[in-house]
Amino acid sequence: MEYEQRMGDGRRIMMAKEDIITDIENGSNEAAEKGKIPALTDDDMDHLLNIFLDPSRMATVDVGDEVVMSTDEGYAVFSGNYSEMGGAGIPMDATSANIAMERVMGADCVTYAWVDYNFKPSKAVITQLQQEIESILLNTISPCSYGAMPNLGSYYKPDGPFDNVGDLMAEGKIMEALEVYKQVAEDATEDMVWVTGKLAKMGLDNLNIDTAGAAGDGDFLAALKATEILKKTIPNFSVEVGMANEFVLGIDGTMEYDSMRLAGMYPHDQVVACEKAGVDIYGPVCNTNTRKSTPWNVARAIAFTKECSNVANIPVHPNMGMGVGGVPMVENPTLDAVTKASKAMVEIANVDGI
Amino acid sequence: MKDELILQNIKESLINIEEEKCMNLMQDALDDGFLPVEIIEEGLSPGMLSVGEQFEDGAVFLPQVMMVAALMEKCVAFLNDNMPESEASKIHGIVVIGTVEGDVHDIGKNIVKVLLNVNGFEVHDVGRDALLSKFIEKAKEVDADIIASSALMTGTMEAMGDLESEIKAAGIHDRVKTMVGGAPVTQYWADKIGADAYAENAGEAVKLVSDMVK
């Protein structure tokens, strides 16, 4: 007998039970080896196997085991372009989209984000952002979050003032590259603090620093430093940090936060650094391998996230969108794969939210 | 009799960025009767590939990769000086590489570029967010063997399919092969758009390019 499963790129495949078991074991072992963390227990793997053998169209958790969702922004969901955001392409303003997100979709929070989704260009449209945040706050009840990416890449020419660090290194200008990289991280920190300060004045409840670490260890460092400053300067303000990648890429390799080297950190180390900085919610990422099956990818993501939950003292909300958390990398991730991966995250990896 | 261990030591000294030791070992290897091409293929290249793999695993970081690449370039230049004239400066192939239009992610592409470079390929980088016409123009200008394109987003990987069409429209499909890579890209995708090769990582990219230009 064979069971319908998905590949990491979303394609349907048929797998025998023995092959699913093998993939679950291999995915778990891969995480254990890479992250130097415990593999899933036999009980965990049995539970995961049962989730994947279930032929239901979608999976869910038991009553009472539900977790909150710090969702993607309503504007992207309803109005966003299909191919790039997985949105529905409905002509709708941001406030209406967030009202619908709250009242129709039952979102636990509402979110606004500038369409470019970077902090740096947010500066140029800050009054527009303030107006949007105010409008959303006046029309919704749930906590309101602003999401954006540190995206150090946006600081390089031609988008920004700095020479591209990768190009400098390729030219052999390693020391110059590292100096530039440090400066870029400092500028990004300042921009995150400035933009958030302006939005907090409107009553914003939470900042979601999304895809932290996308441009390497300096990117993650900027997110941590910005969090530290924001927590000290804005009373009762909360900060969520969602990662870009399962490990922090070492563009510098020596950057530290609170004597912890950031490069090479996996989720169970990243969450410790986040806690130190004052982060309120941490969003780990485990990258989906498009060449592997969903049982392999989910087992791997669960092993990483379970260890992260074990060491965390703050809520852990893993990213469960396209290409992360064991979810296939396809514009509109399929219901079966998303719900099975999410069920496993809650029931095996003990996450607090998604 | 040639001591094979010396090639292993060259590999290790390259990985550890021990320039003086590496240079001395290469001289010893030449004195021992190893051909320069043997030293590159069995000592230096495996070392560089190993560093590329370690980078992908998060075990070493970008500055180390770049420093190893710089040392490798010095080593190859030294060996070139010791090659017979017919072999010296021999280019294995010409590659045009870039991240497709709409996509600004270039870290992976840069690693592939460095590895191809130090493995004896002439590499022309059209950069990130590169117009598809740039790939074509550069390939025509340098008479490229391979056009390698990278994308990190499902929204931009569509451009790889457009690139295949444009290569055909430009009439160079018969003399240039294509390779695709990047996180969302798969062999299935490569087959679907008609690319000649798909590389899962930088090390595999070098092997595939080497095979395609043979």
Confidence of residue B36 (pLDDT cuts 50, 70, 90): confident
The closest CB to that of B155, out of A83, A153, A166, belongs to A83
pLDDT of residue A80: 84
Contacts of A278 (CB under 8 A, 6+ apart): A227, A228, A230, A231, A232, A239
Please report the ipTM that was assigned to this predicted complex: 0.72
Of all residues in chain B, the one with the smallest CA distance to A330 is: B154
Collapsed DSSP state (helix, strand, coil) of residue A260: strand
Superfamily per CATH, domain B93-213: Cobalamin-binding domain (3.40.50.280)
Amino acid at A285: V
Backbone torsion region of residue A350, taken as left when φ is above 0, otherwise alpha when ψ lies between -120 and 50, otherwise beta = left
pLDDT of residue A57: 92
pLDDT of residue B89: 55
The closest CB to that of A323, out of B57, B64, B184, belongs to B184
Q: Could you list the pLDDT tens digit for every one of the 354 residues in chain A?
A: 999 999 998 999 999 999 999 999 999 999 999 999 999 999 999 999 999 999 999 999 999 999 998 876 788 889 887 766 678 899 999 999 999 999 998 889 999 999 889 999 999 999 999 999 999 999 999 999 999 999 998 999 988 999 999 889 878 899 999 999 999 999 999 999 999 999 999 999 999 999 999 999 999 999 999 999 999 999 999 999 999 999 999 999 999 999 999 999 999 999 999 999 999 999 999 999 988 999 999 999 999 999 999 999 999 999 998 899 999 988 788 999 999 999 999 999 999 999
- In our burial notation (b when 16+ CB lie closer than 10 A, e otherwise), range A311-341 reads ebebbbbbbbbbbbbbbbbbbebbebbbbbb
- pLDDT per position as a tens digit, B184-195: 898 889 999 999
Give the residue-averaged pLDDT of B77-81. Answer: 82
pLDDT of residue A119: 97
Confidence of residue B96 (pLDDT cuts 50, 70, 90): very high
pLDDT of residue B88: 56
pLDDT of residue A297: 98
Residues for chain B: how many in total? 214
In-domain check, residue A288: yes
The closest CB to that of A174, out of B57, B66, B158, belongs to B66
What is the token pair recorded at A346? Answer: 């809650």
User: Is the Cβ pair A251, B62 closer than 8 Å?
Assistant: yes
In-domain check, residue A352: no
Containing structural domain, residue A236: 2-71+108-347
pLDDT of residue B207: 87
Contacts of B66 in chain A (CB under 8 A): 169-170, 172, 174
- pLDDT per position as a tens digit, B108-163: 787 788 778 877 889 999 988 899 999 999 999 999 999 999 998 887 899 999 99
Torsion sign over Cα B106, B112, B113, B114: positive
Return the residue matching tokens 């009840």. Answer: A141
* Separation of alpha carbons B169 and A157, rounded Å: 32
Collapsed DSSP state (helix, strand, coil) of residue B182: coil
User: Which residue has better confidence, B92 or B182?
Assistant: B182
> Does the structure show a pLDDT above 70 at B87?
no
* Separation of alpha carbons A25 and A36, rounded Å: 16
Total domain count for chain A?
A: 1
In-domain check, residue A81: no
* Separation of alpha carbons A216 and A222, rounded Å: 10
In-domain check, residue A87: no
User: Is the Cβ pair B110, A264 closer than 8 Å?
Assistant: no
B88 within 8 A of B80, measured Cβ to Cβ: yes
pLDDT of residue B143: 95
The closest CB to that of A174, out of B63, B106, B200, belongs to B63
The closest CB to that of B154, out of A159, A166, A329, belongs to A329
Of all residues in chain B, the one with the smallest CA distance to A323 is: B184
User: Is the Cβ pair B189, A263 closer than 8 Å?
Assistant: no
Torsion sign over Cα A327, A328, A334, A336: negative
Start-end of CATH 3.40.50.280 domains in chain B? 93-213
User: Is the Cβ pair B58, A323 closer than 8 Å?
Assistant: no
User: Per DSSP, what are the bridge partners of residue B147?
Assistant: B96, B178
How many A×B Cβ pairs under 8 Å? 84
* Separation of alpha carbons B116 and B139, rounded Å: 16
A247 within 8 A of A256, measured Cβ to Cβ: no
Start-end of CATH 1.10.1240.10 domains in chain B? 5-81
**Is some CB atom of chain A closer than 8 A to the CB atom of B146?**
no
Testing the interface with B: which of A219, A292, A329 to mutate, by most B Cβ within 10 A? A329
Helix (H) or strand (E) holding B97: strand B93-99
Domain range B5-81, CATH class: mainly alpha
Instruction: Give Dmax (Cα) for chain B.
Output: 57
Instruction: Cite the DSSP H helix spans in A125-256.
Output: 126-139, 165-170, 174-200, 217-233
